[in-house]
Structure 1
Amino acid sequence: LKPLVLDPVAVSAVPSRLKFAHSLLNDFHFDVIRGNASEIAALVEADNTSHGIDAGKVPNQVRIAETCARRYRSIVVLTGETDLITDGQAIYENPFSAEMLTMNVGSGDMLSSIIAAFLGTTTNTWDACIVATVLVSAAGVLANRYSVGLGSWQVQFFDQLSIMDTKALLEFFAESEEDYLD
C-alpha cells in the first residue's frame, strides 16, 4: 500500500472543493490530512468564519483536529501559529514557530509534500509527520535570523530547507533549547 496525504486547499472558501474533498475522503483512506485550521474545520463542519492562509483564528483547534482524525482514521497535521499533530488520541504541539510560515503562500503545500516524501521512507506515519513539521518550522525559524522581510525570508527559507539534514536539525535543537523547549 502506498501512503496517501490529503491537502484540502481552500475547502473552507470554495464549496466545490469541500464537496470534492469529502468525495475523496469517502472513497479513499488518507494516512495524513494536512491543512490549516480553517480547512480542517471545514472537513468536520465545525463553526468557522476564518478563511485563507491566515486562517489560524479558529476556536477549539485541538478538538477540531482530533475530531477530524477520528472521523477519517487519519493523522491530522493542523498548521498555524502552533502546529498540531493528532491521531485522535495523542496530540503533539510543535514547539517551534515562525510567523512568516503563516504568511507565506505555499509553505503548507510544501509541508504536505515533505510529509509525503517522509512517508515514503518509513512505516511510522506519526514520526514522519512530526519530523517533517519540525523540519519545516526549523527552516522557517532559521530563515528569520537571516532576513529582513517576506522576500528575503522566502529565499532564506528555501536555502535552509535545501541544506537541512540530521546534523543541522540537531544543531538547531541544541541552539533553540533555551528559546523554545522548557
Structure 2
Amino acid sequence: MQSLDPVSHLERVRATTPLVHNITNHVAMPFMANALLALGASPAMIHAREEAAEFTDLAAALTLNIGTLSPHWLAAMDDAARAANATGTPWVLDPVAVGATGFRREAGARLLALGPTAIRGNASEILALARQGGGGRGVDSTDTADSAERAAVALARDSGAVVAVTGEVDLVTDGRRLAKVTGGHPLMPRVTTLGCALTGVVGAFLSGAEDAFEATVAALAAYAVAGETAGRTAAGPGSFAVAFLDALYALDTATLSRPLADRVSLELTDAP
C-alpha cells in the first residue's frame, strides 16, 4: 500500500486537534476520552437528544456506539447522524453486540440506513450487521476477522461505508480495496473499551481526510503500533492501559513509518 502514509494522518490530527463528538457507552467514556486526548484530538460526549444534533454541527467527526443503548440515546444518535450528513461531517458506527437482541438489531439497521462513513466492529458484529451471522456472545466475538471478510466486503458495497473488522488481524475494506493490519498485543482484549476507544481514533483520523479507506487503515495501524509498544513494558491489563495511553501520546514519524511495510498488506477484491 504505497500511497498509505499514517504519519501524515497523525500529523493532520495533531495540527487540527479535531473535536470528536462521541455518543458512546457508559463504560467507554473515560478511556475513550483519554485515548483521544493522548492522540492529539479533542473528545466530547454529548448524549441528550435535545442538543446532540446541534453539537454535531460543531464537531469535526462523530462516533455512535450502541454499547449501553436506550431509546432516548438511539433517538439522539439518529438526530446526530442526520446532522452530520447535512454538513458532510464523517461519522463512525460502532455496532456493539448488534446481534444480541431484537432492539440492537433494529438500532443497527436504523443507523446503518443513515449512511455512516465508516463502521468498526468485531467479526461477529460485522457478520450480524450484514445479516450473515448470529452476532457472537454479547459483546464478545466468536468469529475471526477472516471469517467475516466476505460479509465485510458485501456490507461496504451495500452501505457505501468503509468497514473495519478488528481482531487478532484487522481487516479494512471499502468494497473495492482490502487491507489487513497486523500487530497489537494479546493484552489488548483484556482492557475494557479499548475497541470502543479505537472507534474514536478512527473518527479523529477521518476528520479532514480525503480518502476514508486510507484514513481508517492508518488509524488501525497507529493503534497496532501503540499496542505493541505498550506490551513491551506492561505486566498485566492494568499497567497495559496506562502504557497504551503513553504509547499513543508518543507516536511519531519513527514509530509509525519504520514498521509499516511489515504491518499492512493490501489486496484488491473482485468486482461485484
Bin of the TM-score, shorter chain as denominator length: 0.7 to 0.9
* 8 Å contact kept, 1:8–1:34: yes
In structure 1, the residue matched to 2:184 is: 97
**1:129-150 deviation digits (Å, cap 9, x = unpaired):** 0110011111111111001111
In structure 1, the residue matched to 2:195 is: 108
**1:1-182 to 2 correspondence within 5 Å?**
1-26=88-113, 28-48=114-134, 50-55=136-141, 57-58=143-144, 60-171=147-258, 173=259, 177=262
* Identity within the alignment, %: 33
**How far did 1:181 drift?**
7.8
**How far did 1:81 drift?**
1.1
Q: Could you say what secondary structure the match of 2:187 adopts?
A: helix
**1:1-27 deviation digits (Å, cap 9, x = unpaired):** 11111111121223212211201122x
Highest relative contact order (Cα 8 Å, sep 6+), 1 or 2?
2
CA distance in 2, matches of 1:67, 1:138: 28
CA distance in 2, matches of 1:49, 1:75: 20
* 8 Å contact kept, 1:31–1:125: yes
* 8 Å contact kept, 2:127–2:134: yes
The alpha-carbon distance between structure 1 residues 103 and 89, as it changes in their structure 2 partners (threshold 3 A), is: farther
**How far did 1:107 drift?**
1.2
**How far did 1:151 drift?**
1.0
5+ residue gaps, structure 2: 1-87, 266-272
Quick check: which one's strand share is greater?
2
The alpha-carbon distance between structure 1 residues 181 and 18, as it changes in their structure 2 partners (threshold 3 A), is: closer
The one-letter code of the counterpart of 1:33 is I
Runs of at least 4 residues of structure 1 off by over 3 A? none
The one-letter code of the counterpart of 2:137 is H
TM-score by length of 1: 0.87
The one-letter code of the counterpart of 2:222 is L
* 8 Å contact kept, 1:77–1:86: yes
Quick check: which one's helix share is greater?
1
* 8 Å contact kept, 1:53–1:103: no
**How far did 1:127 drift?**
1.2
CA distance in 2, matches of 1:25, 1:46: 15
TM-score by length of 2: 0.60
CA distance in 1, matches of 2:169, 2:134: 18
5+ residue gaps, structure 1: none
Q: How many residues align?
A: 177
